[in-house]
């Protein structure tokens, strides 16, 4: 089998290393010789380091004509030019295994259809949750399972930051700077702290869980920007940790809908113990109850492991395609619990505003800095306040007030 690689950064280098270290075992499993023929890189000198006489090039045409590839591993960042390269390869019937979550989120539907049209596959296990094999699980061992909801802590950078803020009382600016120094967050952390990274990933999981790609506007997104230190401390006093949670389910029409945002996770919920840079994915369904997948969500080695295992899975078995299936959203779960924080000056106005909208306030407690309201609501789009979804059985200790 002739293999090609596009991108030789942190992930690409780890994929190359993993292939070389596992080559004998992979060849035994696939009953074929594996040869990495050529690598397309941005910087040829950087790409050649430690690769001996292996052909590396910055020229797409040269890479494209080097051989007839069986599989190409794509590990670039961003949409372009990865989108152009991937389309060209799939059109020729070359399988592509990618770790590019943004590309898959924005063009996955088109690229999957193109792969099927040309008798090959486009696979993206490594795009979600690092070493956690959640994509493979949804494609294979859970392929006929009706999933009611899928949710996850899908960004290690923000989970590390919120863990430090909740458990150690540290400030947002302090933990962000530390996350950057430790390599958990990029120099420009926008994709992480604004929720885009988790948004890309929950769109991918939605497709796998429910059989169709969600519309962009169907998945709401907020990040950490509006979060205040005093809100974190109030949540902690009530037994909550704060997490950036992404979730998706199907509406009454069977279409995937969801949200990404900071949530209050009670100690009774499985996500409560998912701390630091760890990721967690919760799959819920009538037949399976709750399945929690946890593990390292980032890093070159973890992602490379998913890339290689994804490749082996598809080469050992026929490509498993899911038919559109969707478990409709349950009326029983129509009302969700949310926390609303109010600054000290606005407590009365917020309380009055909620009452005018017919919303019952279950918990209303004042603090020196402001107040915490806990409400139940079916529709939240009409509320002019930042909302924090509540996970866990907090209702058991609610004080019913108005």
pLDDT, averaged across the chain: 86
What is the pLDDT confidence band of residue 322, given thresholds at 50, 70 and 90?
very low
Burial 135-151 (b: 16+ CB within 10 A, else e): bbbbbeebeebebbbbb
Check pLDDT > 70 for residue 195: yes
pLDDT surpasses 60 at 251: yes
Cα–Cα distance for residue pair 69/85, rounded to 1 Å: 13
Looking at residue 286, what is its pLDDT? 92
CATH class name, domain 335-397: alpha beta
Ranked by mean pLDDT, which of 32-36, 54-58, 142-146 comes out on top? 32-36
Comparing C-alpha atoms, which of 138, 142, 116 is closest to residue 129? 138
pLDDT surpasses 50 at 321: no
pLDDT at site 381 = 64
The pLDDT of residue 102? 93
Q: Rounded to an integer, what distance in angstroms lies between the CA atom of residue 247 and that of residue 261?
A: 9
Structure tokens at 48: 């050649």
* φ, ψ of residue 228 in degrees (nearest 5): -115, 150
pLDDT band for position 398 (cuts 50, 70, 90) = very low
Could you tell me the pTM of the whole model?
Answer: 0.81
- The candidate with the shortest Cα–Cα distance to 6, out of 68, 67, 57, is 57
Among 98-102, 285-289, 347-351, 393-397, the least confident range: 393-397
pLDDT surpasses 50 at 324: no
Considering only residues 74 and 132, tell me which one the structure prediction assigns the higher pLDDT: 74
Looking at CATH, the fold of the domain delimited by 135-293 is given as Dihydrodipicolinate Reductase; domain 2 (3.30.360)
Which part of the chain has CATH 3.30.360.10?
135-293
Is the backbone of residue 100 left (phi > 0), alpha (psi -120 to 50) or beta? beta
In this structure, the number of other CB atoms found within 10 A of the CB of residue 379 comes to 9
Asked if 129 and 154 count as a contact pair (C-beta separation under 8 A), the reply is yes
Encode pLDDT of 80-95 as tens digits: 999 999 999 999 999 9
pLDDT of residue 396: 46
Backbone torsions φ then ψ of 116, nearest 5 degrees: -65, -40
**Percentage with pLDDT > 90 across the chain:** 52
Please tell me the predicted confidence (pLDDT) of residue 334.
59
What is the Rg, in whole angstroms, of the alpha carbon atoms belonging to the chain? 23
Catalytically annotated residues = 201
Give residue 331's Cα distance to chain centre: 27
Q: Taking 80 as the threshold, does the pLDDT of residue 330 lie above it?
A: no
Residues 201 and 152: beta-carbon distance below 8 Å: yes
CA distance 58 to 252: 49
DSSP H or E segment with residue 127: none
Distance (Å, rounded) from C-alpha 313 to C-alpha 311? 5
User: Any idea which fold 2-123 has?
Assistant: Rossmann fold (3.40.50)
CA 2, CA 150: separation in Å to the nearest integer?
A: 37
- Report the pLDDT value the prediction gives residue 401, as an integer from 0 to 100: 43
């Amino acid at each position: 089998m002739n293999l090609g690689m596009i991108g030789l950064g942190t992930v690409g280098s780890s994929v190359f290393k993993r292939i070389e270290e596992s080559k004998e075992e992979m060849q035994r499993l696939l009953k074929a010789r594996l040869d990495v023929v050529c690598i397309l890189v941005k910087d040829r000198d950087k790409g050649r380091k430690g690769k001996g006489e292996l052909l590396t090039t910055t020229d797409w045409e040269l890479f494209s004509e080097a051989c007839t590839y069986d599989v190409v591993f794509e590990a670039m960042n961003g949409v372009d030019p990865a989108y152009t390269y991937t389309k060209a390869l799939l059109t020729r019937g070359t399988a592509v295994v990618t770790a590019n979550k943004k590309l898959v989120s924005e063009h996955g539907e088109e690229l999957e259809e193109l792969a099927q049209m040309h008798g090959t596959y486009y696979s993206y296990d490594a795009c979600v949750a690092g070493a956690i094999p959640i994509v493979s699980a949804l494609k294979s061992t859970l392929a006929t399972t009706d999933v009611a909801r899928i949710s996850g802590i899908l960004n290690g950078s923000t989970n590390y930051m919120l863990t430090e803020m909740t458990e150690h009382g540290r400030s947002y600016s302090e933990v962000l700077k530390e996350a950057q120094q430790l390599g958990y967050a990029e120099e420009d952390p926008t994709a992480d702290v604004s929720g885009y990274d988790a948004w890309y990933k929950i769109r991918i999981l939605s497709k796998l869980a429910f059989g169709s790609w969600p519309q962009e506007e169907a998945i709401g997104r907020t990040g950490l920007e509006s979060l205040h230190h005093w809100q974190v401390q109030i949540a902690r006093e009530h037994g909550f940790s704060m997490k950036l949670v992404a979730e998706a389910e199907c509406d009454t029409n069977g279409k995937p809908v969801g949200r990404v945002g900071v949530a209050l996770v009670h100690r009774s919920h499985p996500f409560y113990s998912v701390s630091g840079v760890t990721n967690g994915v919760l799959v819920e369904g009538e037949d399976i109850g709750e399945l929690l997948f946890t593990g390292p969500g980032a890093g070159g080695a973890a992602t490379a492991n998913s890339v290689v295992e994804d490749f082996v899975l598809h080469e050992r078995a026929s490509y498993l395609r899911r038919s559109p299936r969707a478990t409709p959203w349950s009326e029983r779960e129509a009302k969700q619990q949310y926390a609303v924080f109010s600054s000290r000056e606005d407590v009365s106005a917020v309380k009055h505003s909620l009452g005018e909208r017919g919303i019952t306030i279950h918990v209303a407690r004042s603090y020196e800095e402001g107040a915490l309201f806990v409400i139940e609501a079916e529709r939240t789009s009409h509320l002019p306040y930042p909302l924090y979804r509540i996970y866990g059985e907090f209702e058991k200790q609610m004080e019913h007030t108005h």
